[in-house]
């Protein structure tokens, strides 16, 4: 496994991380046994960073990872945890809580569910519009001093918020969606992170499967619990246009001996040594395919050909529904 340092002040991590959200029902029913086997396979392959959120399955994902790390495996993993998202019993997003007291309470439950006494990277999932970022980060900094947290991260925030947060405490990384069809961070956010020595953990590198080469039109329709059925990019004509982009990418990938997913992942990795793609696999075969992207080094000509197939700004539809987009400081 290739290794990298996450930002100027962050830990050494594997070149790819494993995003575990899909193992807790966000993409429809998941298989617990296969999920545990996938986490184990990732660790055996040298993947060190496991990414989760306390609101993934309302604690289910953290408990799943805690189970996977039993038997002395905790030392093999770096745990990256998002907190603060507020959801009702039906799973609906109802806001974000970044108050210092909420930060410390959330961590207490997270430590219990994961069965650990510290978190490697702790980050607010979103910006709380009612709480200055300095207060939220300051509360995590208190937890760093107390030994409960090793590093502080951010998620889906804009350049100004990143600067304000980093003035309070060193920030290891920013977690943000980044793919061939989601390139909004390139204009201001990525340059700011690079100026400040902050790494990027890129999620959604396959746009939730849309540009993986495996997605079929209306695949999420009627699947209980699959939030993609309501995503703008998975709707009607938008979905058809986006799948045409995936098909174009697939043709380029095949000519280079890659799968569509491998080309999409390798493209993200090629954007900088400070960028770690998060692989959202919940099955061992998908994990193996994704890790195969490590075997390819894309040339400047390769990158140009891929970008001609999927031009910047060519995706149809926004990456979240309008109400959720309004919560994204990174989009302002």
Whether 148 is a known active-site residue: answer no
Among 140, 114, 102, which Cα is nearest to 51's? Answer: 114
Written as one string, the DSSP assignment of 126-194 is S--TTS-HHHHHHHHHHHHHTTSEEEEEEES--HHHHHHHHTTS---EEEEE-BTTB-GGGTTHHHHHH
Contacts of 5 (CB under 8 A, 6+ apart): 11, 12, 13, 199
Please give the structure tokens belonging to residue 307: 């970008």
Instruction: Give the H or E element holding residue 13.
Output: strand 12-14
Out of 56, 148, 203, 320, the active site residue is 56
Beta bridge partners of 86: 95
- Residue 230: CB atoms within 10 A of its CB come to 12
Residues in the chain: 332
Cα gap 235→317, rounded to integer Å: 8
Query: Which residues participate in catalysis according to the annotation?
Result: 56
């Amino acid at each position: 496994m290739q290794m990298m340092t996450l930002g100027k002040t962050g830990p050494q991590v594997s070149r790819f991380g494993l995003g575990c959200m899909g193992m807790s029902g966000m993409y429809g029913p998941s298989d617990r046994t296969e999920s545990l086997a996938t986490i184990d396979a990732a660790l055996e392959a040298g993947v060190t960073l496991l990414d989760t959120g306390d609101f993934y399955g309302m604690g289910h994902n953290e408990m799943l990872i805690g189970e996977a790390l039993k038997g002395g495996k905790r030392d093999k993993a770096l745990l990256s945890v998002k907190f603060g998202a507020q959801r009702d019993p039906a799973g609906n997003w109802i806001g974000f809580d970044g108050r210092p007291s909420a930060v410390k309470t959330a961590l207490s439950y997270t430590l219990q569910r994961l069965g650990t006494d510290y978190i490697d990277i702790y980050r607010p999932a979103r910006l709380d519009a009612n709480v200055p970022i300095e207060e939220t980060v300051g509360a995590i900094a208190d937890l760093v001093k107390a030994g409960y947290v090793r590093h502080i991260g951010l998620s889906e925030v804009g350049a100004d918020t990143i600067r304000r947060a980093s003035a309070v405490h060193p920030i290891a990384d920013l977690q943000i969606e980044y793919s061939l069809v989601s390139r909004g961070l390139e204009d201001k956010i990525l340059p700011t992170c690079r100026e400040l020595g902050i790494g990027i953990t890129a999620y959604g590198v396959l746009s939730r499967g849309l540009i993986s080469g495996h997605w079929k039109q209306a695949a999420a329709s009627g699947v209980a619990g699959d939030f993609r059925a309501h995503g703008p990019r998975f709707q009607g004509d938008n979905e058809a246009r986006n799948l045409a982009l995936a098909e174009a990418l697939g043709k380029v990938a095949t000519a280079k001996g890659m799968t569509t997913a491998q080309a999409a992942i390798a493209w993200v990795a090629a954007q900088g040594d400070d960028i770690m793609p998060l692989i959202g696999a919940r099955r061992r075969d998908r994990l193996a395919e994704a890790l195969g992207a490590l075997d390819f080094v894309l040339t400047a000509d390769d990158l140009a050909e891929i970008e001609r197939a999927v031009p910047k700004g060519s995706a149809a539809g926004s990456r979240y529904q309008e109400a959720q987009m309004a919560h994204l400081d990174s989009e302002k």
